[in-house]
Amino acid sequence: MIKTDYIISKIEKYASLDLAETWDNSGWQINLDHDYTNKVLVALSFTKDVLEQAITNDCDLVITHHPLIFNPVKKISNSLITEAIKNNICVYCAHTNLDKTYGSTTDALCGVLGLQNLVTVEDYIKISHLKDELALEQLIQNIKQALNLEQVKLINPNGVSIVKNIAICAGAGGNFVDKLRDYDVDAYITGDIKFHKALEVEGFALIDIGHFESELPVLPLIQGLIAKTKVEVIIAKEDKPWTLV
């Protein structure tokens, strides 16, 4: 067992809460003031299935990327919260602070994709300058193979076929489509592009790999960070909340 405060200090030293957006709720979601932690489960989101995995694996602390609580709570009626408390499970999240820190969710995605020579151009966006030009079709195949994807969404109104400068943003990066026009970008890898935002893509190809898929690579990073405290850390088994039929 390891002191809980020590585990949290490791996370906050890596991704300071000062980096979190004002609208965000990074940090403690359920704090039961455990002096010590026996085992940790890391996940993207705190769902019913993740809670069951925490209970089954005797984890008393769950670290997520997405907050369980976004808005102020006037009464506790969420069954996830009540069941976590009943089972003596604490929940902590590192959200936009992890998205913006050095070694972020986007950095983790770039690592899996083998994209190097990264330059940060916005809080959440990196640009990888390839040494040699690459066919867009080959880039897409590389992404599918690296992330084990059967398909991606391609938005390519200008018929881009060769890429050299690639922008990357893990999670939902639709709001940055307009900003990327200020940079020399041939392709943009992100997730959760909405219909009307897709209509605004101009001058580069956009590859939508999915919000969930783009953030999964950060979980081993969190696991490794916490494992340095010598506590056992498990990565939750998660999947998208939908199926294609």
pLDDT 10s digits, 28-84: 999 999 999 999 999 999 999 999 999 999 999 999 999 999 988 888 889 999 999
Q: Residue 188: its pLDDT value, please?
A: 98
* CATH 3.40.1390.30 location in the chain: 2-98, 102-214
Q: Quote the CA–CA distance of 43 and 64 in Å, as a whole number.
A: 5
CA 66 to the chain's CA centroid: 8
For 238, the token pair is 């998660």
Q: Residue 184: its pLDDT value, please?
A: 95
Q: Quote the CA–CA distance of 37 and 61 in Å, as a whole number.
A: 7
Q: Quote the CA–CA distance of 180 and 203 in Å, as a whole number.
A: 9
For a pLDDT cut of 90, what percent of the chain falls above it? 94
For 80-139, write each residue's pLDDT tens digit: 999 999 999 999 999 999 999 999 999 999 999 999 999 999 999 999 999 999 999 999
Q: Quote the CA–CA distance of 98 and 83 in Å, as a whole number.
A: 27
Task: Tell me the C-alpha to C-alpha distance, in Å, between residue 135 and each of 26, 130, 175, 202.
Answer: 39, 12, 26, 19
Task: Tell me the C-alpha to C-alpha distance, in Å, between residue 131 and each of 74, 128, 134, 160, 166.
Answer: 54, 9, 9, 18, 12
Q: Residue 168: its pLDDT value, please?
A: 98
SS3 track for 116-132: CCEEECCCCCEEEEEEE
Q: Residue 74: its pLDDT value, please?
A: 87
CA atoms within 13 A on the CB side of 109: 30
**Domain 102-214's class?**
alpha beta
For 15-30, write each residue's pLDDT tens digit: 999 999 999 999 999 9
CB of 84 closer than 8 Å to CB of 59: no
Phi-psi region of 149 (alpha: psi -120 to 50; beta: other; left: phi over 0): beta
Q: Residue 245: its pLDDT value, please?
A: 87
Q: Residue 244: its pLDDT value, please?
A: 82
Q: Residue 101: its pLDDT value, please?
A: 97
> Is 90 exceeded by the pLDDT of residue 210?
yes
> Is 90 exceeded by the pLDDT of residue 159?
yes
Q: Which fold has domain 2-98?
A: 3.40.1390
**125-129, long-range: CB < 8 A, 24+ apart:** 125/167, 125/168, 125/169, 125/173, 125/176, 125/179, 125/180, 126/167, 126/168, 126/169, 127/165, 127/166, 127/167, 127/168, 127/183, 127/185, 128/165, 128/166, 128/167, 128/168, 129/164, 129/165
> Is 90 exceeded by the pLDDT of residue 12?
yes
Q: Residue 215: its pLDDT value, please?
A: 98
Q: Quote the CA–CA distance of 223 and 174 in Å, as a whole number.
A: 28
